[in-house]
Structure 1
Amino acid sequence: MTDAPPVTSHATMQSRVLDFVRKGGSYRCETQNEQNAALKLNAKGLIRRDRKDGKLWYDAAAETAPDGEGGEGGPDAPDTGVDRLPRAVDPRVEPEGTEIAIPRHDASDLLATVERARRLLDDGDVIAARMLASVAYDQAKLAAQYGERFKAAEKLVGKARQLQGDALLIEARAKIQLAREWDAATEAGQTLKGRPKSVPNENAFTAADAGLSRKEIHEARKLAAAEARAPGIVERAIQARLEAGLEPSKANLRAAVGTSSAPKEDRGDNLYQTPPEAMHTLLALEQFGSLILEPACGRAACSRPLEEAGYTVSLADLVDYGTADRFGEVQRVEDFLTSEALDGQPDIVTNPPYGALLNRFVAHALRVHRPRKMALLLNLNFLCGFDDDDRNFAMDENPPSRVIVFKRRLPMMHRDGWDGPEATSRMNTAWFIWELNEAGEYAGPTEIRRVDWMDHMPAEQAEAAE
């Protein structure tokens, strides 16, 4: 393999990574700077990622179709304005080899639709822009899904996703503008509530005028609030999905900007202390390397038992709790979703934040940190679900080795600072254990084990629990 390029500017790094990929046919990105450059190149459709090895990249232009024929038709192919993908057909109805046309990024009606929506938004026709962008989003989403289903060249899927992201951004900006207009009308007393029997005032602003349902207006207002708190968050969230080679969907946008979760004043810092019963069980059944990363350390509910068992634990959290390890080293304050792998490749043990960020949290740990072993305390429902790329990445493409299911529910994990009545837990939980095999892969198969945490409690605590 060719030697790695030296660290340099972002643009130069992208150029060098692309050069190494094209010269060698593939290239493994060993540093975070290289991986960042590769993600940028992937978003541009220039290189593609190996489906099993997230650090291995190939030249997208060199990819061939399953039959060995050029995926793009070759340099002398006529410019038809569309890229062709093989389509699954019923031979009783359509001849074998029937193709489906996927609009091409640089010569398609879909691109024209997105551009028209953008012009409408710039001209102030917000409602028309939102409606047109919504149509373009659905079309681009369908094109990307067809491409993935029928194994199209990755850059074709990337083009469709780029258009989907463009349309989503236009639609989101239009909704934000409508939400602001709605709030202004509300403040001026010009909005109508309920379903009045009388003819509405001609100066009143209704949900129908906005082209949105009441529920959609509520969601648009949350989107506007998120953008006001962190200007540019919508565009950054969409771009991050594209750079990671993932679909920029509406659901992921809501999750990324926090509009699909409870208000922060209700969730606090999303800290739910890990019960000691869970840690006693984990330590009784699993062994780890000497160094462990706890990236959501909270108030040390996980790290303290680990240290008592003899492990050295590196502490970090998005929130500064002032938590210190046994050596007096205070936790780092960092966002795990943007963190880089630590030297020494420590194992990971944590009770991650649930809700909208969970899938991204788990996928980031596997993609970027790639620990030799990782134990996450998760809702048993994490076994299910199929419509999130990050969840599929963690459970299908990089399956855990074991899932240790608590057949007796753990005691209730109340929110940090909760002073209300103690409740009985209604959540089924499990330790999900990922472990690299000899080939350096998270490959499963996944073993399901049922355990009773009562069997692993210290004698005096087990008696008190009964």
Structure 2
Amino acid sequence: MNAVTPVIPAGLLQSVERARALLDEGDYVAARLLSAGAYEQAKAAVDHAQRVKASDRLIAKAREMQLSALEIEAMATVGLADEVDAAQAAGLISARGGRPKTVAGGDGFRIADLGVTRQQLHEARRLREVVRQMPDFVRVTLGERIKAGLSPTRANLRAAIGTASAGKADRGDNLYQTPPEATLSLLALERFSDLVWEPACGRGAIARVLEASGYQLRLSDLRDYGTQSEDGTAQEVGNFLASRAPEGGAGPDIVTNPPYGEDLNRFVAHALREHRPRKMALLLNLNVICGYADPDRTFWMEDHPPARVYAFKHRLPMMHRDGWEGEKASSRMNTGWFVWERQEDGSYGRSTLLHRIDWEDFAGRDPLSPNYAGAFGRASFVDVDAEDFTRQTPRRTLAESVEAVREQVRAWLAAARGQGRTQLDRRTLRQQLGIRDATAIALIDEFCAVGLLGPADDGGAHPILDWGSDAA
């Protein structure tokens, strides 16, 4: 790095501190102007620091300055929105729109005189509703990007406000119609069973493309949208979280755009735990690759990872909320198809391949034909709501997990011994069968106790012993 080239411009910290002082004093116009300039300086400093390969500490410091400036700019705009709203309530805004009168007999002060647009004021009002519930919303939300090694930007803030300010009544059941470009891309890359289950079918955006590509459908959703297949079969109404796998038979492959709200992690985990589809494709926000606090997400991203992820190089056409009548916009979300595929040993493997694709490349490409036909059972729905389902089916205990895979491990051990394998370690067991580490430990201890495995050597490998009739 060139020592004479400063990574963070001189005076940037002072500009941010002065802007914060102006915000505290209630001079929102000056605070917003000064913080906006500081934001641009900090953003340029981040870009420069990355180009000259500055230390992570300096890059993080520049990003922190960018966040501070953005936070001040946002809250100054909220303050201006408060002033405009108060002036409108008092009848002090001109007919064309403007700011409160500050001069006796003044006339014609417009909103534009504040240096903000009506759209910015609209966004500020939405942010105001959010910070009333969470005062540190901007810092907490965008601070996560800094922790992840990313820069906080105005676009990130707008996206966060949009997500946080859409109440449950507005979001409804998180129905966002999937653009056909997404499904066409998937079907040009992957084959599925000739019967596909779409368990969050909505108004049939994915279903229509599937049927046009030669697939038969089973449709269901939490709500009755009146969706039908081409042969007139109506969708079923049922909560996927309260669904049960078919008795005595496998279910069809699953393709859907699942609800992204608070039930997303449970939705994916339930599909893999309960239904164990031969193949499943879900259209997801690429951010799901990150995150560690939710055990359900750990279950489906680490313990039972997707075989492939097709990440779109650029964003899909906007998926607007069902019933949205506002201005249409381009998508702010990076998405991709996550594809799970069950292996011959019953697991979903241990690794994920990432492919970057451009959905525009698949607009005129023919879909692949179905590659698997069979007699599929039908999943059933339990007549309970999601909360009841959660209470009635608690997470598996360790003993229950061991019981569920015990015979599978026995069969694998027998096959391994028949193929000449003489040793087994915990890592191999996890990789081959896709089970949790705690389950692998418990099973190895159990099989050592009954004489199927011997004591571990210094490297943690257990000899696979000769099996007597009792042990087998």
TM-score, normalization by structure 2: 0.47
Larger RCO, structure (CA 8 Å, separation 6 or more): 2
TM-score for both structures, normalised by structure 1: 0.47
